[in-house]
Amino acid sequence: MEKILDLISKEVSDAFEAAGYDRNLGKCGVSNRPDLCEYQCNGAMAGAKQYHKAPFMIADEVAEKLSGNEMFEKAESVKPGFLNLTVSREFVRSYIVKMLHEKRFGVNLPGHEPTIVLDYGGPNVAKPLHVGHLRSAVIGESLKRILRYTGNKVVGDVHLGDWGLQMGLIITELKLQKPDLPYFDESFTGSYPKEPPFTLSELETIYPLASGKSKEDEEYKAAALEATKKLQDGDRGYRALWHHILNVSVSDLKKNYKNLNVDFDLWWGESTVHDIIPGMVDYFKDNGYAHESQGALVIDVTREDDSKELPPCIVLKSDGAALYATTDLATIQKRMDEYHPDAIYYVADKRQTLHFTQVFRSAHKSKLVMPETDLQFVGFGTMNGSDGKPFKTRQGGVMRLESLISEIDEKMYGRIKEGNAAISDEEAKKTAHQVALAALKYGDLSNQPSKDYIFDIDKFTSFEGDTGPYLLYTIVRIKSILAKYEEQSGKKAKEARLAVSESDNEKALCLALAGFAEAVESAARELMPNRICAYIYGLSNAFNSFYHETRILAEEDEAKKESYIALLYNTLKVMETGIDLLGFDAPERM
Ligand code: ARG
């Protein structure tokens, strides 16, 4: 379906042409002076030089051609040469009726269904999820939903950090703490215990401990490197132990992601591609893509038009060990083999920009992917505390995601109980979590991904202003009016018919609805969920202005009341769709 702005531009372009001017001058935009008009065209200003004419004269002639046009209530030229446009109410009505009948509210699907692998989450086994992983999960989940909605097949992969030195560190520390475990006994040939030899919380204390020690103790670090190598070379006991670590950690991760409303299609990890690395490395060598440099195997990634040289991508270290980039390259190979994606997008901290540049260039250069395969990095900024520094706990430590969520849950629970004494504890708890997720996710997503932002719990949880809870509050308000309507009239809100709007607020709400497809398509194109946030926030405001100035259920004219209900019903549907694309949902009441 055509966008409303395109329809308007087309009409104005026709008028430019009919008046003897270049039709390209007829491009319109949403007005930045809503007090004067709804849409605006600056084409006469742009064309003045070309036609050696005062812009006002051109605008006048075009306005003349538009007079009597049914699309416009008003099309007037104003000095020095703008065209101010106000669309007709019938045009708005028929446009949104058509749009509301479409399955995706006017979002256009591509002719074929591109496949996109989306790499997000990126947690590391045996390290607790911290707020740094929050952004990847929240932005990635929203992008997955947006890309699916706009007609792509999306495969979400968590890309688990489950290989490498971190595992060696954990094994080394376990060996020190529990040397008698059979996993460390080289002569053990029996079957290993089914139960893991540690609890989750033990496991979670082991990593920071081991990592701290390795920074101070050379010998310890050497042991960890040795253990890593032994694990990767396939030592039976180490592999068995590694499976335990993986299982305990992954079931906890799954629980945490579920709590965040985030889910993945694939749980591939760095270890998944371990076995294909040697073949890939040979391929790089045999085809001259990689060469030796100071003992390491590297791929040069600097291009002619680069202003400065980039460090090469290191495929193997001088001791033959694979690195972060190596597993990423092998993962690309596996993804291409199994999914043949048209694109792979990565959602990770923007401080990894160089890493991804090296990996993408290496993948293209070595033809692991086609030239047209789109590899993109969605690098996000840091979540800061109110002091402008990376967010920490009050004690100054790294905040665990779980604690952060339960803190917000509690805050919301208190507020909901306070405002609603009759609500059961159970419902209050469930609602509190829904509102908390909206607060947390919207607080993040409403910023452009690449920007740092300040995590301000009081602001994010407020029921007023540009926040998640405000959107939910608006939705709940609409739901309650619709429920009352259905109860009072015995009719279905869904079946209410939309009439031509009368008040300006009503028309403004209709125009806000009409912008849905543009917002969603641009969010998908730019990989920016914040576009949808801005859209729904605007829609909520338009709804609330309408609501405050309109007696809806008390309206006596039945046709008018029905039309209001139709408008509310559809605003609700569009808002619910919008927040679903952001990754949260609304309660029945709050
Ligand atoms: N595990 C990594 C980290 O915690 C993020 C992984 C991002 N994805 C990737 N394919 N490298 O920093």
Domains of the chain, start order = 4-87 (3.30.1360.70), 126-162+267-384 (3.40.50.620), 165-259 (no CATH), 401-582 (1.10.730.10)
Instruction: Among 159, 327, 329, say which to mutate for ligand 1: greatest number of ligand atoms within 8 Å of CB.
Output: 159
**Average pLDDT in the 176-186 region?**
96
Quote the pLDDT of residue 419: 85
Beta carbons of 363 and 369 less than 8 angstroms apart: yes
Quote the pLDDT of residue 397: 67
Instruction: Among 346, 355, 382, say which to mutate for ligand 1: greatest number of ligand atoms within 8 Å of CB.
Output: 346
State pLDDT tens for residues 133-167: 899 999 999 999 999 999 999 999 999 999 988 89
Measured in Å, residue 303 CA sits from the centre of ligand 1 at 25
- Is the predicted ipTM greater than 0.90, yes or no? yes
Nearest CA to ligand 1 atom 7: 122
Q: How many CB atoms lie within 10 A of CB 201?
A: 10
**Average pLDDT in the 348-364 region?**
97
CA distance 231 to 242: 8
Residue type, 245: I
Quote the pLDDT of residue 34: 85
Quote the pLDDT of residue 421: 85
Measured in Å, residue 114 CA sits from the centre of ligand 1 at 24
CA distance 43 to 27: 7
Measured in Å, residue 386 CA sits from the centre of ligand 1 at 26
Beta carbons of 246 and 121 less than 8 angstroms apart: no
**Average pLDDT in the 89-107 region?**
95
- Give burial (CB, 10 Å; 0-12/13-18/19+) of 418: exposed
Predicted TM-score (pTM) of the model is 0.94
Residue 399: pLDDT over 80: no
CA distance 426 to 430: 6
